[in-house]
Structure 1
Amino acid sequence: MFVITLRFADKSKAPEFMDGHNAWIKRGFDDGVFLAAGSLQPNAGGAILAHKASPEEIEARVQDDPFVAEGVVSAQILVISPGRTDDRLAFLKA
C-alpha cells in the first residue's frame, strides 16, 4: 500500500495543468490502483492512497502526473506494509 503526497511547489502553474492532472487521477482509479484521493488541508496539495502495484510502478505513475512533471507539486511516496486492518480493508494485507 502507498500513501502519495503531492505538496504544492508552484501553485501558480496549477490551472494550466489541472485538466491533465485530473485525467491522471481518473486513470489511476480506472486502473484500480488508486483507492482514495483528496486535498491536503489547508490548501497544501493532495494525497492519494494506492495499492496493487510495485514501488517502481508507483514511482513511474507519479512521474507521469503533469503536476509532478511540470513542478506544480513535489511528490513523496510512502510505502506501508499493513500488519493489521479493519476487516473492510483486509484486501490491503494481500
Structure 2
Amino acid sequence: MHRREPDYSNAKYWSRVVGYHPLHDELPAAVEPLFERYAALSHVASWKERLVPNKRWLLNAFVDCCQECETTGDPELNAFAQQVQWLEMLLLLQKTSLDAVSV
C-alpha cells in the first residue's frame, strides 16, 4: 500500500516489518500470464528475474519496479505494474475474506 504514496523507502520499511506473507508464494503463478503477455518487451520482461527469483515474490523488488515506473514514465512498465498490483490486491482481499469467515 505504501507504494502508492510514493515513499519507496517507507514501503520497503513496512515490507520488512510485516515480513513473510503467504501471498508471496501465490503471486508468481498469478503474475505469470502478465510476464507472458509482456515477454516481447525486454524492459518489462527483465523484471521477472528481479521479482520472482526462486519462485517467491520479492515485495521490495516490486517497490523498485513501481519507483522505476514513476521515474521513467514508461507506459508499458506502468501498465504491467498496475496489473500486478491489481492481482496482488485481489489475492490479498480473497485471503483476508477467507480468514475472516474461518474464524
TM-score by shorter chain over 0.5: no
TM-score if structure 2 supplies the norm length? 0.32
Query: Which one has the bigger strand percentage?
Result: 1
TM-score if structure 1 supplies the norm length? 0.33
Query: Which one has the bigger helix percentage?
Result: 2
